[in-house]
Amino acid sequence: MARPSFTLFRSTFLDLLKLVALTATVLVLVIALGAAIKPLSDGVLSAGDLPKFVLIAMVPMLAYALPFAGGFASTLVYHRIASDNEAVAAHAGGISHRALLGPALALALVLTGGLMLLNEQVIPVFLRTMQKMVTVDVARKMLQGTTRGEAVEFRGGMGGVGGGSGEGKVMIYADRALAIEQPTGGATDQIRFANFAFVELDKEGRPRRELSCAHANLWLIPLAEGAGESSEGVSRVVMEFEDASGYVEGVGLVQVQEVPLTWTIPNTFTEKVAFMSWGELRRLVDNPYRLNWVDAQRQKLVTALAQRQTLARIQEASTRGEAIQFADGSNQPVSLRVGRLAFANGEWTLAGGVEVLRLRTTTTGRSTQTITAESGTLKREQRGAAASFKLTLERARVRDSAAAGDSTAATERSGFSLEGLSPSPDPAEELRKLPPAALLERADAWVKAGDRLDEAPQALRDGLVQLDRVILGKQNERMAMAASCAVMVLTGAITALLLSRKLPLTVYLFTFAPALVTMVTISGGQQLTKQVGAGGLALMWAGVAALGLYTMVVYWKLARH
């Protein structure tokens, strides 16, 4: 048999490329428009953003369009070659079917290599951009809500005017809102409101703070990575009111003049393994906290360990007769000295005399508040990843002493309480820096001592196992998609040569049906791998293997013919 003509090879290959480009363009455009329907109908995506979103979405959709586009192109091109008797002429001229299939093989290699490159480097970037476009943007949500005359709701930890619990809901309303084009202070967005009203509700839905003013300014500042609990995907809202008035629980009516109020809100953007390249997936094993859901499990374990370590520190300080150091909600030092301690049902019973020294900073200067009592309780609170406590004293005597040495007479109260006391230094800060293995090792030491830690260690272990399965499934899914692309191109070409007397679409049906089954098994195998691990890979690759076997059977029939 003679070698194939270069002219025939080039002509066939160019026909294949042109038809692949045309088919893939139509497919990705249709799929991208379909992907934009839901965010557009939900109001997350504006009409002005639709063209940009569709253009961005077309690139990730190539992962699904290229295999079918390659199969369709090879089917039509080789069906034309066979129906026009070019295949018979080539065979009569000494060109074998294998040589005639050379352009299809070359296209299969090009598409496979291109799809692997897209899957590993290009598509993750575009997927992340797509997700950010359809993620609820805080600034956009405020502007759209104000335009529609609706109150905008957020949840997050509060701080600023009058303190706050860190739990509950924030509602804001304004008659008008204007986005500032050039935000200041490192903010990503800045909005100026007119006729502004603000309400904070606690977790039971009761008003905690209410403020209103003629004008207010808002800055949205993303937290730097590592700045706090789980700063990834968390932003800080800073608001300033101009001559605001309102009500603060425990304080009463207040007047606020340009005093900032801040709270943190989670970004609805969620990091996924689909947004990562092969190298990033490998590094994710060493740093799994990049994923929001793994970090949430880490935070639960950090909370449990920090509370246990703090309790141990309290017990040790009491045994030695030393003062126990805390910081209040304003980050001011609080020193607690107690005669005897007893722990039961999540709280300490304080007896034998209690003395509290609290440094206070007010508009008139700094002073030290001394509180003494015969007994009280120290109870754990659930506030983020820190070990937080509430101190309650019975029949307390309170005396304030100024820095100059002046002191007021002690006043007796039937009850005195301090909330949001965090240990100083906070053990959670060290625990957050530990890698998963070291953090679980700390947890195992407590478990061996008889503390179950609210099953938080097992939850983190399960999360890490789940992460390994997700990474394994995503890596193999990308390889299986690339392999199926090559097989589909060859399947279409060989089937078209065999069924040359049938209609082109009928021929493509013999290619499309097995290819569709292959795509279903790849997707199902990836989901099964998430659930059971490596066993799901059998289903994932079974579809590719079955399509390859089907192609070999068709080629065997073609060779006999």
pLDDT, position 138: 64
pLDDT for res 327: 82
Collect all residues with Cβ–Cβ distance below 8 Å to 485 and sequence separation of at least 6.
Answer: 66, 67, 70, 108, 111, 112, 115
Indicate the domain borders of the chain. 6-135+465-560, 138-266, 307-431
The pLDDT score that the predictor gives to residue 162 is 41
> What confidence tier does 224 reach under pLDDT thresholds 50, 70, 90?
very low
CA atoms within 13 A on the CB side of 368: 13
Q: Does residue 290 surpass a pLDDT of 70? A: yes
Residues 6+ apart with CB under 8 A from 501: 83
Per-residue model confidence (pLDDT) at position 77: 92
Q: What is the pLDDT of residue 267?
A: 56
Q: In the numeric block, which tokens belong to residue 531? A: 């659930």
Count CB-CB contacts under 10 A for residue 149: 9
pLDDT at residue 481, rounded to an integer = 92
Query: Residue 364: its pLDDT value, please?
Result: 58
pLDDT of residue 228: 40
In contact, 193 and 215? CB cutoff 8 Å: yes
pLDDT at 492: 92
The pLDDT value recorded for residue 230 is 40
d(CA 62, CA 118): 8
What is the C-alpha radius of gyration for the chain, rounded to an integer number of angstroms? 33
Pick 387 or 237 by higher pLDDT. 237
DSSP codes of every residue in 46-111: -GGGHHHHHHHHHTTTHHHHHHHHHHHHHHHHHHHHHHTTHHHHHHHTT--HHHHTHHHHHHHHHH
pLDDT attached to residue 444: 85
- The whole-number pLDDT of residue 7 equals 81
Average pLDDT (448-462) is 80
E strand intervals along 278-385:
324-327, 333-344, 347-362, 365-373, 375-383
Residue with tokens 């101009």: 242
Nearest CA to 311 out of 437, 416, 453, 435 is that of 453
Top-confidence residue, 241 or 159: 241
More confident residue, 270 or 151: 151
- Quick one: average pLDDT of 267-286? 78
Check residue 538 and give its pLDDT. Answer: 93
- Cβ pair 305, 435 in contact under 8 A: no
**CB neighbour list of residue 297: distance below 8 Å, 6 or more residues apart:** 456, 459, 460, 463
pLDDT at position 4: 57
Encode pLDDT of 79-104 as tens digits. 898 888 787 787 777 777 788 888 99
Residue 405 confidence (pLDDT) above 60: no
More confident residue, 465 or 255: 465
Q: What's the mean pLDDT in 201-221? A: 81
Chain segment 227-237, per-residue pLDDT in tens: 343 444 456 77
pLDDT at 383 over 60: no
For residue 384, the model assigns a pLDDT of 46
- At 145-197, the pLDDT tens digits run 777 777 777 665 444 444 444 456 778 888 888 888 877 666 777 888 888 88
CA dihedral 342, 389, 396, 411 (to 10 degrees): 160
Q: HSE-up of 25 (CA within 13 Å, CB side)?
A: 6
Evaluate whether 525 touches 517 at the Cβ level (below 8 Å). Answer: no
Can you tell me the mean pLDDT for 48-56?
86
pLDDT band at 385 (very low <50, low <70, confident <90, very high): very low
- Answer with the residue of higher pLDDT: 491 or 450: 491
At 265, the pLDDT band (50, 70, 90 cuts) reads low
Percent of the chain past pLDDT 90, that is, above it, reads 20
What is the longest distance spanned by two Cα atoms in the chain? 115
Mean pLDDT of the chain: 80
pLDDT digits (tens, 9 = 90+) for 105-116: 999 999 999 999
**For residue 346, pLDDT beyond 70:** no
pLDDT: which is higher, 407 or 29: 29
DSSP-based three-state secondary structure for 151: coil
Contacts of 458 (CB under 8 A, 6+ apart): none
pLDDT for 135 beyond 60: yes
Q: What is the pLDDT of residue 332?
A: 80
CA 269 – CA 275 distance, rounded (Å): 12
